[in-house]
């Protein structure tokens, strides 16, 4: 058998079982053997029958003496039989498994795990697990416990693993270059896969796990790095000229660019004017003015005769960008075209025609801009806003539109460097580390729900002064229907309480047009209080909104809360962020305190990472982290850093992985990148 063979080739895997395994993404023997144990049970210490004690779980090996007997007591059955080793005899017992009466063969040896008990007037051993001692039995051992597969027992899974290892174990090519294995003291691949399932010793388990974790990080990181070197050297970028246009544009802005914005613009100018293809990430806290930078870059590209496209994660954001771009670009004679899923067929047709003819210079939209049927006339720059909602794949799709446009990715999530590398290792990074002048500090407070009356009064007072407020409703995870209901209920409640305010809501189930109408009315100040889930978390810009009230704040990621807070404090008025939470745990309190204490996105994100780990770092709904089979980004951070260093070293030495000894790992990287060729 081969690693790529279907699991159905294993004995005992019929159609039914195969389906169940497929559901978990297990199709081949390789998939099966990389379904790693979740935990282990130590069955390595065996006891003799005469030494069995009453406390805790124990295991012993004994021979079956005869068939069992089953007794019925009401709803229960008790099946008992006698077993024996060289030190004595013992009765063993199964609850509600009458088939055990004849499941064991008389005279054969078995390993029993369970507890010795003294109930029903006798001492006997209640069995939780048993297995036959076959040819391969080498004493008691540490046994794997797998993430459960519906309808397949642990014992069955263990058997399949053993069988698969027997069939194909030892046959995997070692694709990690030897020098990397040596420098990082990594165990061999086949050894590791075998030992991760059935570790012989604790040490071999640690060695195996370290190797597999390292490998997983290494492939992830190395693939991105090699994509980067391929993009840098393999792709020629359009050469942008007329640098004066950039200065021209700066003069047309109603404000002076900050030094940080200028610095980033310079970096982009260098990328795009040299014939190199730009692949750049702009990281900048909420409100740092990323849009202005994107606008300047677009203006320049358009002046060079190309089109520019901006992809936003939501319709509302696309609309907002459309308004701010067209406000400026229209007056400069450059047409901005909007392209979203919510448009009517006719609107879409008109828009598509303009994109194709080149009449539309600046194209703004949602995913619609990368869909089939969108033909660009001459695309020179592709920008994605709030990147963490799009994966590497979508980034790629936008790249492939047109003939390899320059790409720019903008994110407000300040990600610690180690994480940024595994998310954006294929990109160059620019950081806008300065806010435009005159921003006021946003007063942040964390309160319990006892404060509701006071908070409502606070909102009413500000509305009477002409200001507006956002209210973020409790988020109900994984259930959109309930969530909509909760927004509607809460809105109704607020409408009754805030008698002087026009309170309206937006939620995920609304039609794009409806949502847009509400957002427009809010932007115009007709709606005073906007209730929503997290629909508005990214990008929305309404300077007159000065209060951000967040219910059940403990349920959000800190990075997300920080983003939400960034919706206020955009105008000249003093702004407030109120975090309501009744959570009592120490961590929950520390987290909210981090937000009260700091306005620096980086500080906050580091804190969040420390307190909760990366799984939740981005908030439950928007993690862009790749799925990992064995590694845990937080616990295995030291290994991640080693793997990153190694990947960096590999690509510095052999940027295109041309050396013979790097072919194996090159193929692994290509597989990871979905078959994308890394040939220049």
The contact set with Mg ion (CB under 5 A) reads: 539
Smallest gap from residue 600 Cβ to Mg ion (A) = 18
| 255 touches, from Mg ion, ligand ADP, none (C-beta below 5 to 8 Å by class) | ligand ADP
In the bound state with Mg ion, the residue whose beta carbon lies nearer, of 425 and 539, is 539
Smallest gap from residue 312 Cβ to ligand ADP (A) = 11
In the bound state with ligand ADP, the residue whose beta carbon lies nearer, of 37 and 557, is 557
In 3D space, the residue among 285, 281, 266, 222 whose CA is nearest the CA of residue 428 turns out to be 281
Reported as type and span, the H/E element at residue 587 is helix 586-597
Smallest gap from residue 258 Cβ to ligand ADP (A) = 5
Smallest gap from residue 294 Cβ to ligand ADP (A) = 8
| 116 touches, from Mg ion, ligand ADP, none (C-beta below 5 to 8 Å by class) | none
What DSSP character marks residue 147?
A: S
- Measured CA to CA in angstroms, residue 437 lies from 265, 285, 595, 616 at distances of 18, 14, 22, 33
Token pair 């190309």: residue: 306
| 288 touches, from Mg ion, ligand ADP, none (C-beta below 5 to 8 Å by class) | ligand ADP
In 3D space, the residue among 348, 410, 400 whose CA is nearest the CA of residue 376 turns out to be 400
Token pair for 18: 């195969």
In the bound state with ligand ADP, the residue whose beta carbon lies nearer, of 310 and 421, is 310
In the bound state with ligand ADP, the residue whose beta carbon lies nearer, of 366 and 581, is 366
Smallest gap from residue 253 Cβ to Mg ion (A) = 16
Q: Are 272 and 408 in contact (CB under 8 A)?
A: no
In the bound state with ligand ADP, the residue whose beta carbon lies nearer, of 364 and 588, is 364
Report the alpha-carbon distance of residue 44 to residue 142 in Å, rounded. Answer: 6
* Sequence-distant (≥ 6) Cβ neighbours of residue 514 within 8 angstroms: none
| 407 touches, from Mg ion, ligand ADP, none (C-beta below 5 to 8 Å by class) | none
Smallest gap from residue 287 Cβ to ligand ADP (A) = 5
Smallest gap from residue 385 Cβ to ligand ADP (A) = 7
- Which residue's beta carbon is nearest to the bound ligand ADP? 289
State whether residue 453 is helix, strand or coil.
Answer: helix
Q: Where are the beta strands (DSSP E) in 514-587?
A: 529-532, 545-550, 575-580
202-234 and 417-424 helices, crossing angle to 10°: 60
Smallest gap from residue 626 Cβ to Mg ion (A) = 25
Backbone φ and ψ for 310, nearest 5 degrees, come out as: -125, 125
What DSSP character marks residue 434?
A: -
| 237 touches, from Mg ion, ligand ADP, none (C-beta below 5 to 8 Å by class) | none
| 436 touches, from Mg ion, ligand ADP, none (C-beta below 5 to 8 Å by class) | ligand ADP
In the bound state with Mg ion, the residue whose beta carbon lies nearer, of 539 and 601, is 539
Smallest gap from residue 438 Cβ to ligand ADP (A) = 7
In the bound state with Mg ion, the residue whose beta carbon lies nearer, of 186 and 548, is 548
* Sequence-distant (≥ 6) Cβ neighbours of residue 145 within 8 angstroms: 37, 38, 39, 40, 41, 154
In 3D space, the residue among 455, 415, 424, 451 whose CA is nearest the CA of residue 557 turns out to be 415
In the bound state with Mg ion, the residue whose beta carbon lies nearer, of 68 and 289, is 289
* Sequence-distant (≥ 6) Cβ neighbours of residue 628 within 8 angstroms: 216
In the bound state with ligand ADP, the residue whose beta carbon lies nearer, of 272 and 328, is 328
| 457 touches, from ligand ADP, Mg ion, none (C-beta below 5 to 8 Å by class) | none
Residues that bind ligand ADP (CB under 6 A): 255-258, 261, 284, 286-292, 412, 436, 541, 570
Alpha helices in 511-585 (DSSP H): 512-524, 558-565
| 360 touches, from ligand ADP, Mg ion, none (C-beta below 5 to 8 Å by class) | none
* Sequence-distant (≥ 6) Cβ neighbours of residue 31 within 8 angstroms: 7, 25
């Amino acid at each position: 058998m081969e690693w790529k063979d279907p699991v159905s080739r294993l004995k005992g895997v019929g159609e039914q079982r195969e389906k169940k395994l497929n559901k978990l993404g297990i199709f081949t023997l390789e998939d099966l053997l990389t379904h790693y144990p979740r935990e282990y049970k130590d069955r390595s210490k065996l006891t003799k029958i005469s030494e069995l004690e009453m406390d805790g779980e124990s295991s012993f090996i004994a021979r079956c003496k005869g068939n069992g007997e089953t007794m019925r007591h009401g709803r229960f059955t008790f099946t008992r039989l006698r077993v024996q080793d060289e030190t004595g005899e013992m009765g063993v017992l199964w609850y509600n498994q009458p088939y055990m009466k004849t499941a064991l063969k008389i005279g054969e040896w078995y390993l029993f795990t369970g507890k010795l008990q003294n109930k029903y007037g006798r001492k006997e051993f209640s069995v939780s697990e048993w297995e036959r001692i076959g040819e391969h039995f080498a004493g008691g051992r540490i046994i794997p416990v797998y993430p459960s597969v519906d309808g397949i027992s642990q014992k069955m899974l263990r058997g399949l693993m053993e069988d698969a290892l027997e069939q194909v174990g030892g046959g995997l090519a070692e694709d990690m270059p030897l020098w990397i294995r040596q420098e990082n003291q990594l165990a061999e691949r086949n050894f590791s896969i075998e030992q991760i399932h059935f570790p012989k010793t604790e040490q071999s388990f640690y060695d195996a796990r370290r190797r597999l974790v390292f490998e997983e990080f290494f492939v992830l990181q190395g693939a991105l790095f090699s994509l980067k070197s391929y993009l840098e050297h393999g792709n020629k970028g359009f050469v942008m000229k007329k640098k004066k246009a950039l200065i021209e544009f700066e003069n047309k802005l109603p404000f002076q660019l900050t030094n940080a914005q200028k610095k980033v613009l310079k970096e982009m100018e260098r990328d795009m004017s040299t014939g190199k293809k730009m692949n750049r990430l702009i990281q900048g806290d909420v409100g740092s003015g990323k849009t202005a930078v994107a606008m300047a870059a677009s203006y320049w590209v358009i002046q060079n005769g190309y089109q520019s496209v901006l992809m936003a994660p939501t319709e509302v954001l696309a609309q907002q960008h459309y308004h701010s771009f067209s406000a400026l670009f229209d007056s400069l004679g450059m047409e901005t075209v909007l392209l979203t899923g919510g448009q009517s067929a006719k609107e879409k047709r008109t828009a598509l025609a303009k994109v194709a003819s080149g009449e539309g210079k600046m194209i703004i939209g949602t995913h619609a801009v990368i869909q089939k049927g969108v033909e660009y006339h001459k695309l020179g720059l592709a920008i994605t806003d709030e990147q963490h909602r799009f994966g590497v794949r979508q980034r790629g799709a936008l790249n492939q539109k047109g003939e390899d446009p320059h790409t720019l990715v903008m994110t407000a999530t300040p990600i610690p460097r180690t994480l940024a590398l595994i998310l954006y290792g294929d990109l160059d990074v620019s950081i806008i580390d300065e806010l435009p002048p005159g921003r006021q500090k946003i007063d942040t407070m964390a309160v319990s729900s006892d404060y509701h009356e006071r908070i409502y009064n606070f909102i009413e007072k500000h509305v009477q002064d002409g200001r507006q407020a956002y209210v973020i409703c409790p988020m109900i995870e994984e259930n959109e229907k309930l969530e909509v209901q909760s927004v509607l209920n809460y809105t109704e409640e607020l409408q009754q309480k805030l008698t002087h305010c026009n309170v309206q809501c937006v939620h995920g189930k609304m039609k794009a047009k409806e949502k847009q109408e509400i957002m427009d009315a809010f932007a115009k100040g007709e709606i005073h209080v906007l209730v929503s889930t997290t629909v508005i978390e990214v990008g929305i810009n309404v300077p007159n909104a000065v209060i951000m009230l967040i219910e059940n704040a403990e349920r959000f990621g800190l990075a997300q809360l920080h983003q939400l807070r960034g919706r206020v404090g955009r105008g000249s008025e003093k702004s407030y962020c109120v975090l309501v939470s009744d959570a009592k745990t120490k961590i929950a309190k520390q987290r909210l305190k981090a937000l009260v204490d700091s306005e620096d996105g980086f500080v906050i994100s580091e804190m969040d990472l420390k307190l909760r780990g990366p799984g939740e770092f981005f908030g439950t709904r928007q993690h862009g982290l790749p799925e990992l089979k064995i590694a845990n980004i937080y616990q295995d951070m030291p290994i991640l850093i080693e793997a990153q260093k190694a990947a960096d070293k590999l690509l510095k030495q052999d940027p295109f992985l041309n050396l013979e000894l790097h072919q194996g790992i090159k193929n692994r990287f290509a597989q990871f990148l979905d078959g994308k060729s890394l040939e220049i």
